Amino acid sequence: MGTVYLAIGIHNHQPVGNFDFVFEDAYQRAYLPFLEALERHPGIRVAQHYTGILLDWIEKHHPDFLERLAALVKRGQVEMMTGGFYEPILPIIPDRDKLGQIRKLTDYIRDHFGVSPRGLWLAERVWEPHLPRPLREAGVEYVVIDDSHLKYSGLREEDLSGYFLTEEAGYPVNIFPIAERLRYTIPFRPVEETLDFLGALAERGGSPLAVFADDGEKFGVWPGTFKHCYSDGWIERFFRALEENSSWIKLVHFSEALDTLKPAGRVYLPTASYREMMEWALPAKAIHEYEDFEARLKESGLFDRYKPSTTSSFWRNFLAKYEESNHLHKKMLYVSRKVKDAAARYGDVEAVLKARDHLWAGQCNCPYWHGVFGGLYLTNLRYAVYHELILAEEKEIEALERRGETSWVRKEELDFDGDGHRELIVETPVLNLVFSPQHGGSLVELDYKPTAINLLDTMTRREEGYHRKLLQLAEQKKSGGGDGVASIHDLLAVKEQGLEKKLVYDWYRRVALIDHFLNPDTTLKAFSRSQYGEDGDFVLEPYTFETKEEGGLVTVELRRKGTVWAGGAAHPVELQKAVTVRPDSQELDVRIRIKNDGQDSAKLWYGSEWNFALLAGNAPDRYFEIPGRSLRQRHLASTGAEPDVEEIDLVDEWQKLKIRMRLSPQAEVWRFPVESVSMSEAGFERVYQSSVVLPLFRLDLEPGQVSEIRIRLIFESLG
């Protein structure tokens, strides 16, 4: 038997906004028992990466853990790796933020563990060719990424038993390729399979290097892994096997490999992430085609040979796949520019430093994408990132620039979301509004600054590639089929029965100020499921816009001349929406004018849709109120239709906020929840996203007649 070198890396992370009990559960089930296992086996040497978010939490709740980890570092058993402090996808944030985030975590490691990390954990292993320069400028000598990255460059399995060198503009970085085979055997397969893989490498001769690096949560947090790893003893067997075979398996740190082993060569990598991530970034239909193609390769016994040639997508396509991800990303870039400009004007004063840290926290990657983890679909993660971004621009930057001024307004026209069309931004001390004239004249962001929340932070219900598996699973259960499998990438657990019946797909983005003209046969149930007749052409079409200032008021006017089909005829209709804000007010005043531009009378059924995202649909401290009425169900996930409504309120006692919607004239009001069916670590689940409030008005317009509607939103603090 020859010798094989083995480098092990463990990445530990919890996102900004995750619940405290989730941190604690992960600590007790994964981080602590893994540390204890290392303490019992001093011969096991690993590199470890903890995100700054997690380190901050551990320092606050379990400071003794850091002392024990520092002892392992001091005796050379653990090598610490750096990264972006708040675990951003590095390629998609500005270079100034890349450098700042990496240096922040490097400084933390130096201060708490007395070492300067030489390597970096690349979040989600998202690689783009420009990365070597900022990495090297931040002091990074190596990164650990998947072997698939190198295979996409044409290297073969037998070429990958070592590390490689790459560069950008003369800035070199070393690349350690993670063996995909080890990601699937550790810890899901018997220890002997890992030993067989390493033995096959050793038999080749030439001091090969094998790399395993993956999430620490797979050792205790992923479904079934705590029992498997600790109660059933997989970790103990694995560590003992490495110790017993230390004569030919040489455990090394990545930095030691740099110092003692020669690189296997130079390589230039394409845009890539791990193989599953690149599949998740595809549109749903493309995922189906990719899965079918992959299945055919497996049936033919050709998959292992040709899978490097079956590249699919890359991470940035999440920004095309999900409008919500793109909006969040562009909001982050918008705030980053504000922080940069403030730093240029004022230097690194305290407000700028605090704003920068809020910005960096708002770059945490988890709510920007979605695969088999909840990610983008989890309201608490999206809320937390928006919260940090709003704090950066409102609490720190605006406070610095406005210096106590309480009555001001700022307007800006720019292509905010990168779609080639101008959006309109209006900012006051109380509200941030982002209008999208090109997309139905809708309001796509509404930030309430006193609580730093985007009240329109919801998700459109769309088809996901894995929904096909949910439908298949439902059919299997009908016929007595089995349950899920061990690896999270193939998990088919279902958290509630009948979820397949909840699959609903929207044909437009659910935001606010959306203009509907409904078919007379439309029911609340049909509308809530996006299975109804839309008789107007206003929802998706462009509006013209202008802004006016008068008497301290700012009014945004959005206008469209379109068509409504009613009574078997097409009626030309002009719709104008005027949204007025007061610089010192907590009110939003919307006036809607609908004019029959045709030669015939028209009976129209108009609705203005608003999606309010208050995080919890069934919590007792979040509910609807209609003054003077008792609602049979009033939680935010309730469904109902109320006639002759003058006011409907959404109350959020947790955030101490009440949203009053006052209507003139009275309207019938429909309400219902937007609930997605998505995948998470625990399987398929239903997630409350927002509450739709739809005031409906019956209009009977003669030729040339105008109907006027007023909707006032009043934001009231509860304490």
Which one-letter amino acid corresponds to residue 36? E
Q: Are 457 and 379 in contact (CB under 8 A)?
A: yes
**Strands in 303-402 per DSSP E:** none
Catalytic choice (56, 137, 215, 401): 215
Catalytic choice (124, 217, 357, 535): 124
Closest CA to 520 of 460, 566, 564, 456: 566
Preceding peptide of 187 cis, ω within 30° = yes
Work out the burial of residue 21: count CB atoms within 10 Å of its CB; fewer than 13 is exposed, 13-18 middle, 19 or more buried.
exposed
Q: Is 215 part of the annotated catalytic residue set?
A: yes
Token representation of residue 418: 């990168």
Cα–Cα distance for residue pair 334/352, rounded to 1 Å: 15
Closest CA to 617 of 574, 675, 531: 675
Q: Would strands 640-652 and 622-625 be described as parallel, antiparallel, or unpaired?
A: antiparallel
Work out the burial of residue 240: count CB atoms within 10 Å of its CB; fewer than 13 is exposed, 13-18 middle, 19 or more buried.
middle
Four-CA torsion 476, 477, 481, 483, nearest 10 degrees: 110
Cα–Cα distance for residue pair 443/425, rounded to 1 Å: 10
- In the three-class reduction of DSSP (H, G, I as helix; E, B as strand; rest coil), residue 674 is classed as strand
Q: Is 196 part of the annotated catalytic residue set?
A: no
Closest CA to 48 of 117, 102, 100, 123: 117
Distance in angstroms between the alpha carbons of the first and the last residue of the chain = 72
Q: Are 2 and 249 in contact (CB under 8 A)?
A: no
Q: How long, in residues, is the chain?
A: 719
Q: Which residues contact 708 (CB under 8 A, 6 or more apart)?
A: 591, 592, 593, 594
Handedness of CA 474, 475, 478, 483 (dihedral sign): negative
The residues assigned a catalytic role are 124, 215
